[in-house]
């Protein structure tokens, strides 16, 4: 089974929103790699404690890390930036890691941004599991489970249950002549599981990844000055390139 840890960056508002883009980033790896990756991540957190003063119980929350660190203001700004870079590099170095990202340009859509972004992400997770395109161990017949940061759980529950019954996917015009097919989701089991990122090291890494994606599209001054808007490129070895043929980093732009 593949586990997909998901976090977001930006907001889903259409009117008077401070952000133009909404990002969902997923960190995906096989259950057989879970203990190995957890131990490796704990080692990273111990290293950050010893070298940067970031306590094991303290949350890495990227949207506040640079410009509004609150209690973490004791850690110098350039060290907080380096912590984020080390989180990115940790993910890039993991055997069997897969990174998948969806970016919604809110100026192009009038529908529910949250639901649309999740629908696209779940469809990519379903397809990639079905076609066996994830790196890592592989059983004869794989399934996937979604573990999200604590967000709108009821809406996600409704969405995934609907997609198991009715999931119209547009046909390629040149192959099927247009129209759509009902490709019901069958490889994702259970409802989306919710976790508080404050108690999940995996979600804190996904949070950093999602934030670094949004810096590609609307970087703040400090991240752009220090090259933080290019951090996502460091994940090249583990990006799911097949998720999108229209972006060099495999980002699904909708």
CB count, 10 Å around CB of 204? 23
Q: Can you list the residues of the chain whose pLDDT is less than 70?
A: 172-178
Residues in Cβ contact with 98 at an 8 Å cutoff, skipping those fewer than 6 apart:
2, 27, 28, 29, 128, 134, 135, 136, 238, 239, 240
Angle at 167 between CA 185 and CA 176, to 5 degrees: 105
What's the length of the chain? 254
Domains, the chain? 2-253 (3.30.420.10)
pTM exceeds cut of 0.85: yes
pLDDT at 177: 63
**In this predicted model, what pLDDT tens digit does every residue of 176-200 receive, in sequence order?**
566 778 889 999 999 999 999 999 9
What does the alpha-carbon distance between residue 168 and residue 178 come to, in Å, rounded to a whole number?
A: 12
């Amino acid at each position: 089974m593949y586990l997909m840890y998901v976090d977001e960056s930006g907001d889903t508002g259409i009117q008077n929103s401070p952000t133009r883009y909404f990002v969902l980033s997923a960190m995906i790896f096989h259950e057989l790699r879970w203990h190995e990756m957890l131990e490796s991540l704990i080692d990273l957190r111990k290293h950050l404690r010893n070298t940067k003063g970031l306590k094991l119980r303290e949350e890495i929350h990227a949207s506040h890390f640079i410009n509004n660190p609150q209690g973490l203001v004791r850690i110098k700004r350039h060290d907080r930036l380096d912590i984020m870079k080390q989180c990115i590099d940790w993910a890039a170095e993991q055997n069997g890691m897969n990174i998948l990202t969806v970016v919604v340009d809110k100026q192009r859509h009038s529908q529910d941004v949250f639901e649309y972004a999740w629908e696209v992400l779940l469809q990519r997770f379903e397809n990639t599991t079905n076609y066996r395109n994830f790196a890592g161990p592989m059983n004869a017949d794989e399934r996937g489970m979604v573990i999200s940061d604590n967000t709108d759980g009821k809406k996600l529950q409704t969405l995934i249950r609907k997609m198991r019954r009715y999931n119209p996917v547009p046909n390629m015009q040149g192959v099927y002549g247009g129209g759509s097919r009902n490709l019901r989701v069958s490889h994702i089991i259970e409802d989306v599981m919710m976790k508080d990122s404050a108690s999940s090291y995996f979600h804190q890494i996904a949070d950093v990844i999602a934030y670094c994606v949004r810096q590609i599209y609307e970087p703040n001054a400090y991240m752009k000055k220090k090259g933080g808007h290019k951090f996502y490129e460091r994940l090249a070895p583990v990006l799911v390139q097949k998720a999108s043929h229209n972006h060099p980093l495999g980002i699904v732009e909708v």
